[in-house]
Chains A and B, each alone.
Chain A
């Protein structure tokens, strides 16, 4: 389960005319991750399928745009899997072009209605503003022989520049209202030859005219009603337009869904396109395939291709390791933990997948630090209740809650009550020293496992020097275990012991010599760097081990917090008592639960992953048909 699924590099040589079928078959197997490196052979330099790709992209773009107006199926069911020939794709594209052309007209009508409505709203605002003015607004309705003026709205951003420009045309600009991003302005000046110049400036400034109705001065109520009627009319028109659109689109819904299916079937070839190279009638494509799926892949190709093909498979070369994709964990229980691991990185091919170890250690630590049957049940219950909203993460909450329940039984704690349930083991507060000792033992075990994995990961890719002398390598592990051995002896018999001391000094000396030999600097700087690095190794391991004391500290803290809540509750009457217990438990679940979660993640990421997990791999993303179906590649074992 910890080892990655073995992968093979597969190279296919097929006839160019078989490419669409080959792509479809590869997509059906869902086991082919394209390798986009160009082939080493110079003659394989052609890029087939360019026209097909362009047709596909235009058709998909049209379909997406149509989908904004006409409802489409989210994930259409593929009735049959077949090759989509280029002429068929071209036909679909043409038809979609016609449909979109018509849709575009509807979209334009909707836009015009929106624009009109916005203008009516601005007019209403202007009307409200003019209502209190005691002047004859009728005079402003039309230009006079001597006076030229404009009333309208302009984007605020353009105001200052427009003010200068109208000034040059001997006009003045007055802002009488600002609404959102627009300002309502009056521009006035002498009538004459400069009107035409001003017109182009106003256009460039995005000025929109707001006509003043003739009745404004005498009957503002009439105008208000008229504007309200216009808005209602716009709404009616919009509803009618939606109806017309629905009726029109209803006549070709079936064909639209067919087009959707055709594009889904054409997609694999287009997706593979960047990794296909050809020379005349011969095309080459290569990719990464799980070793166990290679035989099936070849069989399926043999069944589906009309002409002969050549398939070569080999193990990944050492230098190709960073290019090989890693198949993600598919175990349902581990899925939510894999999501958290993914936040740190994807395991490089060959590297141990930390997800199972992460899941086990996370649950153990969370349970220890937050052991309570009642609170654990609440966490698990809430995660279950909100499972649809939480998606795959709900299982994470359920398992964390279950772990909390398990440790709650061990500690005999339910909603903070320590004497209701008999403890299967003991309450942490009964023997804090033992809890601290156990946390230290856990820390030593955790760090030793982390170092062992670091050694394995490096050895697996042939980095023997790194496995022995590198950070958290074999020498580090020997030093650490010797230090622990000596520490235990010092604590029990009062002396560090000769062997542990020799191992500590010897391993540190080995690290120092290795560091010295690999450092290129003046002697003084070398001494300083080697000394500091050696000291850092000692301090690092000691502090990292002590870091695990928080596991015990939080389990003690949990009980102490419960005691504090009960003490407070004890000072209240019955209602206050119940309320304090309830609110106290909510407080513990939300705040302490959150803090414990962060602390555990910190231990996992910083003390664990930072030691052995590079996380610089990339995920296996096989070519597949986009349909709601379970993938064929089985779990990583």
Chain B
């Protein structure tokens, strides 16, 4: 297939798939349905399997929704050129990184193999990281050696120090996330054609969101120093670039950071008093950006990635809704989780939780 033909095919594919995205009000409408209706509508028979525990059912639903997302990713990746495919697959590898974190945490805390396995996602081979070797490791030292030999050698030293000093592996997990986003940035920068700009806009919007949330969380919830916080951030292509992050991390309060944000983030965040509210507003901004790229961009790969980002948001909202019902949570709490209601959780609560 020629490049023009594959682009046309990819764009058509994305447009067809985009009809699956939830329109305005759909999530609110779904929130009114019971589990049986949701199971039937989204073909999730495991929701109704009374024979297994609520946790197992919840896990099965999450797994099924991730499979759906990754299956769509595989369909979109097929007609792409090598560089485009690598970027989209790398985006999907975030689920493999969840597995990696589970494995590292499980081995560091010497958890049972079965328990670790139950918490791993079953992923298609193209998205999987080579975690089988890590899974086979029978003790922490073996796991650390495996890490040193594999693609995660750069985090291995940090992992070893965490083990030797018996520290909480939070910083290690943050580094894994940081390396994931830094990898996306590097892959975007390898484009030298018409795809570059829309991809920078899209991945930039993702990074703006991640950076703002991490910055606020690390600085004010986890009380990390400016230098510790900055090291974990990934400068964005758009609003929260390196120089701006260097200034923001040095500010001493949550409110001052929000005030110092560049436009349009300053307007959007004005009046936010807690992290959940910020998360909701910046999340909406990312959605709008992804929607804009999906509707108006001519770049097939950027549109495909935008679609996947939006689809993931939809599927995760659906999961929150189902999980809320499975756990019997109050409707207003579920509504916060699926972001149809305003949050009023004070930042102090988060700080207390983190502590």
Interfacial residues of chain B within 115-154, with CB under 8 A of chain A in the complex? 136, 138-139, 141-142, 145, 148, 154
Within 8 Å CB of B145, what residues of A? 107-108, 111
**Does any Cβ of A come within 8 Å of B231's Cβ?**
yes
| Known A104-B141, A111-B148; contact A168-B227, beta-carbon cutoff 8 A | yes
**How many whole Å from B352's CB to the nearest CB in chain A?**
22
Contact B225–A194 (Cβ < 8 Å):
yes
In the bound assembly, the distance between CA atoms of A205 and B156 in angstroms comes to: 11
Interfacial residues of chain B within 133-179, with CB under 8 A of chain A in the complex? 136, 138-139, 141-142, 145, 148, 154-155, 157-158, 161, 171, 174-175
Binds B, one of A28-36, A154-162, A224-232, A467-475: A154-162
**Does any Cβ of A come within 8 Å of B315's Cβ?**
no
Residue of B nearest to A64 (CB): B136
| Known A168-B249, A168-B250, A203-B158; contact A97-B138, beta-carbon cutoff 8 A | yes
Within 8 Å CB of B148, what residues of A? 111
Contact A61–B136 (Cβ < 8 Å):
yes
Within 8 Å CB of B224, what residues of A? 197
**Does any Cβ of A come within 8 Å of B195's Cβ?**
no
Size of the B side of the interface (Cβ < 8 Å), in residues, is 28
**Does any Cβ of B come within 8 Å of A304's Cβ?**
no
**Does any Cβ of B come within 8 Å of A423's Cβ?**
no
Residue of B nearest to A171 (CB): B227
Residue of B nearest to A104 (CB): B142
In the bound assembly, the distance between CA atoms of A61 and B113 in angstroms comes to: 14
Residue of A nearest to B232 (CB): A204
**Does any Cβ of B come within 8 Å of A100's Cβ?**
yes
Within 8 Å CB of B171, what residues of A? 200, 203-204
In the bound assembly, the distance between CA atoms of A162 and B157 in angstroms comes to: 16
Within 8 Å CB of A104, what residues of B? 138-139, 141-142
Interfacial residues of chain B within 200-258, with CB under 8 A of chain A in the complex? 224-228, 230-232, 242, 245-246, 249-250
Contact A161–B157 (Cβ < 8 Å):
no
**Does any Cβ of B come within 8 Å of A85's Cβ?**
no
In the bound assembly, the distance between CA atoms of A206 and B232 in angstroms comes to: 13
Most chain A CB atoms below 10 A, which of B138, B148, B226, B227: B227
Residue of A nearest to B179 (CB): A157
Contact B161–A108 (Cβ < 8 Å):
no
Contact B227–A166 (Cβ < 8 Å):
yes
Contact B228–A197 (Cβ < 8 Å):
yes
Within 8 Å CB of B242, what residues of A? 164
**Does any Cβ of B come within 8 Å of A167's Cβ?**
yes
**How many whole Å from A380's CB to the nearest CB in chain B?**
42
Residue of A nearest to B156 (CB): A206
Q: Which single member of B154, B161, B227 contacts A157 (CB below 8 Å)?
A: B154
In the bound assembly, the distance between CA atoms of A172 and B302 in angstroms comes to: 39
**How many whole Å from B101's CB to the nearest CB in chain A?**
15
Residue of B nearest to A97 (CB): B138
Contact A198–B227 (Cβ < 8 Å):
yes
Interfacial residues of chain A within 189-210, with CB under 8 A of chain B in the complex? 194, 197-198, 200-201, 203-206, 208
Within 8 Å CB of B138, what residues of A? 62, 97, 100-101, 104
Interfacial residues of chain A within 72-119, with CB under 8 A of chain B in the complex? 97, 100-101, 104, 107-108, 111
Within 8 Å CB of A158, what residues of B? 154
Contact A201–B154 (Cβ < 8 Å):
no
In the bound assembly, the distance between CA atoms of A549 and B136 in angstroms comes to: 60
In the bound assembly, the distance between CA atoms of A198 and B226 in angstroms comes to: 10
Contact A205–B231 (Cβ < 8 Å):
yes
Residue of B nearest to A167 (CB): B246
Residue of A nearest to B174 (CB): A204
Interfacial residues of chain A within 435-483, with CB under 8 A of chain B in the complex? none
Contact B228–A201 (Cβ < 8 Å):
yes
**Does any Cβ of B come within 8 Å of A245's Cβ?**
no
| Known A104-B142, A164-B246, A206-B158; contact A201-B136, beta-carbon cutoff 8 A | no
Residue of B nearest to A169 (CB): B227
Contact B231–A162 (Cβ < 8 Å):
yes
Contact A161–B231 (Cβ < 8 Å):
yes
Within 8 Å CB of A65, what residues of B? 136
Within 8 Å CB of A164, what residues of B? 230-231, 242, 245-246
Within 8 Å CB of A62, what residues of B? 138
In the bound assembly, the distance between CA atoms of A203 and B175 in angstroms comes to: 11
Q: Which 8 A-B pairs have the closest CB atoms?
A: A197-B225, A165-B231, A168-B227, A169-B227, A165-B227, A168-B226, A206-B157, A201-B231
